[in-house]
Amino acid sequence: MKNWLTDNLLKIKEALFKTRSVLDTDQVAIEKIHIDLNEDYYESILEKLIKSDIGFDLSNKIVSELKNEIKSENIEKAELNIKIKEIVRTLLGQSVNKLLNKISLIPEQLNIFLVVGVNGSGKTTSIGKLAKKFKDDGHKVLIAAADTFRAAAENQLLIWSEKAQVDIYSPEGIKKPDAVVYGAIEKAKNEKYDLLIVDTAGRLHSQVNLMEELKKINTIIDKNAATSKKENLIVIDASIGQNAITQAELFQKAIGLSGIVLAKLDSSSKGGVVLNIMSKLSLPVKFIGTGEQIDDIAEFTFDEYLEGLIA
Ligand code: GDP
């Protein structure tokens, strides 16, 4: 049987490899090196933190705390890393952990994930991964293909549903996304599915009518599955930097979000964005995408993330 816990940490660590390299903290061989902690060195730490997309304010705070706490002018690299971790934990641990609560399905009733995000963010892939994860956990999963704007989207989703070995609701001839969602809810209720995952068009947030369509879908779910537990999840590409914040804010305004799936963390050197997002938006990162394969998904936990971020 798969050990999800160890697996999770390993996946997070691997996915943060590029970011860790930017932060220059994974070079075990030089851990014993002594660092001359002068202004230039502090400046270089600040630069690296900003480069990893932790955010300017937070990076500044980390460095000024470091200066306060480290009195000596010479320190072992390993010790410095431990200090940085401690500071991040003190600055953010409480607020981040308060946001985090694991998604667990309520038994004996329909749970719904409404998944939104712009095209190319990794939405379809993430839906496939989530479907497989919850199916592996013993749940009956249905995917609703409510992105009726792009013919290719339906086919792509079909492929992922087959990989995950879950059912898909993709009625021919229905072109209105809210009608697809309505039908999917009926089917899911009648056939006692545990989880319905709704795919939506990769709306560009500037396209007002598409956002309106999304609001309609959200309302259809609230009306027709009022007792269901619903998660409104946005999929964000980890490598887009500050745009991530703007995107999430717009979707938040349109339908309200309950969490983030941060895709492609493995291909980004800006994995610090997780901290930036959570502190700016007060929204939890629930899952991270750690690769292109169906099992490449990890649950986000703060401690494991810090472990992966800084060696
Ligand atoms: P969508 O347009 O939002 O549905 O995006 P897709 O799911 O089609 O993904 C866009 C691209 O990102 C594809 O090439 C995926 O293989 C890739 N991708 C998605 N998630 C991940 C991930 O976690 N890691 C990596 N490395 N690639 C990913």
pLDDT at 233 > cutoff 60: yes
Count of CB atoms situated within 10 Å of the CB of 264: 24
Residue nearest atom 2 in ligand 1 by C-alpha distance: 120
pLDDT at 26 > cutoff 80: no
Query: What pLDDT was estimated at residue 77?
Result: 80
Mode of pairing for the β-strands spanning 34-36 and 111-116? unpaired
Mutate to test the pocket of ligand 1, among 18, 118, 121, 125 (most ligand atoms within 8 A of CB): 125
| Cβ proximity of 241 and 274 under 8 Å | no
Phi, psi of 12 (to 5 degrees): -65, -45
How far, in Å, is the centroid of ligand 1 from the Cα of 226? 32
How far, in Å, is the centroid of ligand 1 from the Cα of 203? 16
Residue nearest atom 5 in ligand 1 by C-alpha distance: 122
| Cβ proximity of 16 and 311 under 8 Å | no
How far, in Å, is the centroid of ligand 1 from the Cα of 126? 8
How far, in Å, is the centroid of ligand 1 from the Cα of 134? 19
57-75 tens-digit pLDDT: 999 999 999 998 887 777 8
212-225 tens-digit pLDDT: 999 999 999 999 99
How far apart are the C-alpha atoms of 175 and 280, rounded to whole Å? 37
What residues form DSSP beta bridges with 169?
Answer: 144
Instruction: Average the pLDDT over 257-267 and give the result.
Output: 96
How far apart are the C-alpha atoms of 286 and 283, rounded to whole Å? 9
| Cβ proximity of 309 and 16 under 8 Å | yes
Q: Is the CB of 266 under 6 A from ligand 1?
A: yes
- 258 residue type, one letter: S
Ligand 1 atom nearest 199 alpha carbon: 4
Query: What pLDDT was estimated at residue 269?
Result: 92
Q: Which has the minimum average pLDDT: 198-207, 232-241, 261-270, 301-310?
A: 198-207
Residue nearest atom 9 in ligand 1 by C-alpha distance: 122
Ligand 1 atom nearest 127 alpha carbon: 7
Q: CATH topology for 1-311?
A: Rossmann fold (3.40.50)
Q: Is the CB of 292 under 6 A from ligand 1?
A: yes
pLDDT at 94 > cutoff 80: yes
Confidence bin at 10 (pLDDT 50/70/90)? very high
How far, in Å, is the centroid of ligand 1 from the Cα of 38? 42
Q: What is the mean pLDDT of the chain?
A: 90
Instruction: Average the pLDDT over 95-119 and give the result.
Output: 92
How far apart are the C-alpha atoms of 166 and 155, rounded to whole Å? 15
Mode of pairing for the β-strands spanning 34-36 and 74-76? antiparallel
Nearest to 236, CA basis, from 196, 276, 209, 294 = 276
Residue nearest atom 11 in ligand 1 by C-alpha distance: 122
Q: Is the CB of 125 under 6 A from ligand 1?
A: yes
The residue ranges of every structural domain in the chain are 1-311
Mutate to test the pocket of ligand 1, among 116, 143, 199, 292 (most ligand atoms within 8 A of CB): 292
- Burial degree of 252 (CB within 10 A; 0-12, 13-18, 19+): middle
The length of the chain, given as a count of residues? 311
Confidence bin at 192 (pLDDT 50/70/90)? very high
How far, in Å, is the centroid of ligand 1 from the Cα of 289? 9
Place of tokens 């939104």: 116
Confidence bin at 149 (pLDDT 50/70/90)? confident
Confidence bin at 80 (pLDDT 50/70/90)? confident
